[in-house]
Homo-oligomer: A and B are copies of this chain.
């Protein structure tokens, strides 16, 4: 077995968000020296074992480590029932509050905080399945120190400035925000789409995202099998990326029949050059590229 089952962790300003939790997720999580204490949300795309069988072990280990606060598992109602019952038996007491949030594939926003929204992406698989779109909210504008000194903007107004307000001087003169601030850092978006066959609805949902992870279980040699089993070829993943106008594409969820995944990369890059292969432990810096 070359690959672990599916699990990804997004680090957004030191908050960790896990997407899918295949068997062995806790092992990889610790190998990569990630901190359990920063993990408060786990999103499950669908209820196949290779996407969620690591959940009981991960949660039990977090309990053993004395993690406090709360951990919320976002999954379909049937998954809530299965995992709740399983955990109630095997790990009835956790130092953190274990919450389950029942979601629907077509729900839209399933989670929101000050910095991000997480929305569902309806996928097309053999069982109900959803992708997740992580979108950073617009960030605060940067203060231009010389400009705010020149106009004597009071300290208590800085937050309003960062949010885009114009400043009115005591004399009644309006200073446009653009004179006092610079544009905020860009807000990134990341879409996770696995497992799914090629789908126009997915294209619509991921339109213009910065980073798209799209499964590519098979190469073109197995296109009929991909369709039959609700999966995609690398070429189909690249077509989604191209048609949705995303900036970067990451492939993954490779069938074990490919001993060298470079065939998948090549087939995808023919259509969408800015494609990369995910792999165990590989880190992508969404700010850098």
Enumerate chain A interface residues (CB-CB to B < 8 A).
Answer: 1, 4-5, 23-24, 26-27, 30-31, 47-50, 53-54, 56-57, 60, 78, 82, 85-86, 89-91
Q: Which residue of B is nearest A59, CB measured?
A: B49
**CB within 8 A of A90: which of B4, B49, B54, B89?**
B49
Identical chains in the assembly: 2
Is the CB–CB distance between B60 and A53 below 8 Å?
yes
Asked, given contacts A1-B26, A1-B27, A27-B24, whether A82 binds B91 with beta carbons under 8 Å apart, the answer is: no
Q: Which of A4, A23, A50, A54 has the most CB of B within 10 A?
A: A23
Asked, given contacts A53-B57, A82-B90, whether A1 binds B30 with beta carbons under 8 Å apart, the answer is: yes
Q: B residues within 8 A CB of A4?
A: 27
Asked, given contacts A23-B57, A49-B57, whether A31 binds B1 with beta carbons under 8 Å apart, the answer is: yes
Is the CB–CB distance between B57 and A56 below 8 Å?
no
Is the CB–CB distance between A23 and B90 below 8 Å?
no
**CB within 8 A of A91: which of B1, B5, B49, B91?**
B49
